[in-house]
Structure 1
Amino acid sequence: MKALQGVDGHVAWVEAERPACDAGQVRIRVAAAGLNRADLLQRAGLYPPPPGASLYLGLECAGVVEEVGAGADWRVGDRVCALLAGGGMAEEVVVDARHVLPVPEGLSLHEAAAIPEVYATAWLNIFQLGALKAGEKVLVHAGASGVGSAAIQLCKAFGSPVWVSVGSPERLAYCESLGAAGGVVRNGNLDDLKQLGPFDVILDPVGASYASLNLQLLALDGRWVIIGLMGGRKVELDLALVLGKRLEITGSTLRNRDDGFKAELLRELRQQVWPLFSEGRLSPQLVDTYPGEFAEAAYAELASNQVSGKLVLVIDPALA
């Protein structure tokens, strides 16, 4: 089969061995796969897959089940999407059956390919680790990203107001269209966020460059969840603020979590989040699709940091 591999900062389709489908697993014929910033890092050689995971790109996909291992609760022909530690950008992928979800009613396979990674990330970090309660205030940095788009919609759906920091007025308007109460443009004055806070939960993919400001923005007993380091990894912090405000600072990754953890996370998503897609309260925010042969262009667009929402790579057009 063909699979997409990161090579010297670029991507290339290569011939790959067809994986075996063992007990508790399913084989998915991939229709499409969502692009994520983690793929950019892996493409650049900066984010190797966890031990035992596929070496190929792709942390989420959608398609049709074509083989079911013993004990797996799926049927051949089921339309599904999956959360992966890698390998979604391939003609086929084999995955733990517990990491597979049905395509929400009313969504296409292309749309479904854009939801597992970002909605799992937003749910884990805001609602589980961030322990968000209805009515509490949330700040999402990089609010127009795929994860940010999911986070805004989830906060709105579960009764918490959310604000954002973004890269342009157009991206701020996009976030407000999803339900954000407002926010700031980062090339302006980020200190304006102080007028909108304090915040109970901050979802932060930026890291060092926003760290000192985050401590000032958090409310008493606030939670700061760090999911990325786009703004650097090293910073000096005023720990008196951490003590005085009783703050919680959590570093979080999803890709290297164990299979049982991911299975429980997806079980919760299926129960509490998936019905909201069918009700029209959540949307994949699919911006554009790229044919597989234009994978390099798709990654170039993602790397531009101008995308509001999600990009998807189409692997098998016949499954659209």
Structure 2
Amino acid sequence: MATMRAVDVQGGRGPATSMHITTIPRPTPTSTQALVRVRAFGLNRMDLLQREGLYPLPPQAPSTMGVEFSGVIEELAGESERGFKKGDAVFGLAYGGAYAEYIAVSTHMLVHKPDELSWEQCAGIPETWITATQAMYMVAGYQPGQSILWHAGASSVSIAGIQLSRADGASKIFATTRQDEKCRFCEEELGVTKAFNSEKGDWSEELLKATDGKGVDVIIDFMGAGFFQQNLNAAARDCHIVNLAALGGTKMKGGEDISAFFRKRVRYEGSSLRSRDEDYQGKLRDMLVEHALPKFKDGTFKVYIEKVFDWEQIVDAHQLMESNKTKGKLICTIPW
């Protein structure tokens, strides 16, 4: 049996220090899959939850963490998508398994690596940019000229979403962060209209002032219960709020005023990406290739990378992500 090295968690769940590299069976590509030798993989906050046993995995996901990667195709199954061949440099999205030397993944979720981008940059694109695209367009139904608010503005998904918003003619772009430094990053580097430090008072009041009381048309939220009331306060008429995570908790404190739902005709919708089927994810892959990839090639869109680690330093990488001090992606590379 062919084997490979992969990141495992001692006891199946635990703190960052419980991670180690071990030897496990190498996957065999089936149906529409390719076997990819991994050069780099991106870290995502869901990895922290999965490591702690707090993230429900889709049934097709392996126990190994990691959903985005770059690498080279080693082998193809019989029904793999035409246009890919052995030796192709690719990057892509998977249901799991990227923290390893090899990954078996559907060719429907692979993209040919452009020469203009590094392995590290490509490994930081799939999960974040596809999540932002899905939330903004497929769920929120964003239209050019609308205003939009991205919470966790210095997170990789929001960094992607802010760039998409600028490129597609948003009238105003707002962001929230928990640090003044990150607010400056959003305004000076990403070009948002205004970023608000959510640790300093009621950001929704400041947003209403910045919009002359109108509020915003689209809100992409990662905070959940912690921002529920403020999101309703900040919503414009016919606003669509898309909730992707609950970093601010899942339980309300009580006393929330839900009248905005009918006064403002607000839609509040939850969404996720990892639980979607392969066809749905394939459509998002195609949107990424058609609309975003050309802008990566010409430099319009940027992949913001905070730090690159050798994958032997996976504990340090997870601990840095847990510190909430990063702006952009953390990437691990596998030398070969």
Please tell me the TM-score bracket, short chain as reference. Answer: over 0.9
Query: Could you tell me how far apart the structure 1 residues matched to 2:68 and 2:48 are?
Result: 14
**3-state SS of paired residue (2:259):** helix
Equivalences, count: 317
Query: Could you tell me how far apart the structure 2 residues matched to 1:183 and 1:202 are?
Result: 14
**3-state SS of paired residue (1:239):** coil
- Please say if residues 9 and 45 of structure 1, whose CA atoms lie closer than 8 Å, have aligned partners that are also in contact: no
Q: How does 1:306-317 map to 2 (within 5 A)?
A: 306-315=325-334, 317=335
Q: How does 1:74-89 map to 2 (within 5 A)?
A: 74-89=84-99
Identity of aligned residues (%): 33
1:27-50 Cα shifts (integer Å, max 9, x gaps): 110001000000000011101321
Cα RMSD (Å) = 1.2
- Please say if residues 8 and 43 of structure 1, whose CA atoms lie closer than 8 Å, have aligned partners that are also in contact: yes
1:4 maps to which residue?
7
1:225 maps to which residue?
242
What is the TM-score with the length of structure 1 in the denominator? 0.96
**Match 2:51 to one of 43, 46, 50:** 43
2:200 maps to which residue?
188
Runs of 4+ in 1 over 4 A off after TM superposition: none
2:191 maps to which residue?
179
Change over 3 Å in CA distance of 1:63–1:306 after alignment to 2: same
Q: Confirm or deny that 1:98 pairs with 2:101.
A: no
1:109 maps to which residue?
119
**3-state SS of paired residue (1:63):** strand
**Match 1:141 to one of 151, 156, 159:** 151
1:262-308 Cα shifts (integer Å, max 9, x gaps): 11111121111111101211111112100111100000000100000
Aligned residue type for 2:145: G
Query: Could you tell me how far apart the structure 2 residues matched to 1:97 and 1:163 are?
Result: 36
Q: How does 1:256-267 map to 2 (within 5 A)?
A: 256-267=275-286
Q: Confirm or deny that 1:283 pairs with 2:302.
A: yes
Aligned residue type for 1:220: R
**3-state SS of paired residue (2:150):** strand
Aligned residue type for 1:181: T
Q: Which runs of 5+ in 1 are unaligned?
A: none
Moved more, 176-185 or 88-97: 176-185
Query: Could you tell me how far apart the structure 2 residues matched to 1:212 and 1:25 are?
Result: 44
Query: Could you tell me how far apart the structure 1 residues matched to 2:304 and 2:217 are?
Result: 26
Query: Could you tell me how far apart the structure 1 residues matched to 2:287 and 2:7 are?
Result: 30
Query: Could you tell me how far apart the structure 1 residues matched to 2:296 and 2:183 are?
Result: 23
Q: Which runs of 5+ in 2 are unaligned?
A: none
Query: Could you tell me how far apart the structure 2 residues matched to 1:89 and 1:51 are?
Result: 18
- Please say if residues 104 and 275 of structure 1, whose CA atoms lie closer than 8 Å, have aligned partners that are also in contact: no
